[in-house]
Amino acid sequence: MGKTGRKVVEVPINELLTDLNKAYADEWCALYQYWYDALITEGINAPIVAEHLKKQALDEMKHAEKIGNRILELGGTPVSRPDKLVHASGCGYIDPPKDKTDLKQIIQDTLKAERCAIEAYNRLAKMTLGKDPVTYELASDLLTDEVSDEEEFENLLANL
């Protein structure tokens, strides 16, 4: 990013980059978790849940791209190796359930990841409010998406 673009950021850039990289890794962990659960799940209602998970995984990939672009703009480096993603993430990765037909568990694991992301983007939005409008807008946009994701999966769980 240009000098001025970085100069106007009134939060310590290192702190910001740490939080952004955590979120970046969270998005990749969530995307792989959802995508993998969709791949392995079995049973009569599995295709419905798998459709939701696959759509969600694609959305999380778009989130990762947006965060990655912001990290680059700020002069940072998005986590470059897949084997570092779980360690770098704030929310971690949840292993698939032993029972592949346990859709409730899969949805609960999805909700855990979404709720962790909501907390993280809410913190990032508060941290950047009035201090870094570009990251603030990004955090608010992603927060809006994760809030709607949580609702989608809560409804899915209720209607299973």
- Residues of this chain that interact with Fe ion (CB under 5 A) are 27, 60, 63, 114, 146, 149
Structure tokens at 46: 């599995």
Q: Residue 132 or residue 146: which is nearer to Fe ion going by CB?
A: 146
Burial of 70 (0-12, 13-18, 19+ CB in 10 A): buried
Q: Residue 9 or residue 64: which is nearer to Fe ion going by CB?
A: 64
Buried b (16+ CB within 10 A) or exposed e, 107-146: bebbbebbbbbbebbeebbebbeeebeebbebbbebbebb
Tell me the C-alpha distance between 104 and 137, whole Å. 33
Closest separation between CB of residue 72 and Fe ion, Å?
Answer: 18
Closest separation between CB of residue 4 and Fe ion, Å?
Answer: 29
Q: Residue 19 or residue 149: which is nearer to Fe ion going by CB?
A: 149
Closest separation between CB of residue 32 and Fe ion, Å?
Answer: 12
Closest separation between CB of residue 145 and Fe ion, Å?
Answer: 6
Q: Residue 101 or residue 147: which is nearer to Fe ion going by CB?
A: 147
Q: Which residue has the tokens 């001025």?
A: 4
> Residue 43 has what DSSP assignment?
S
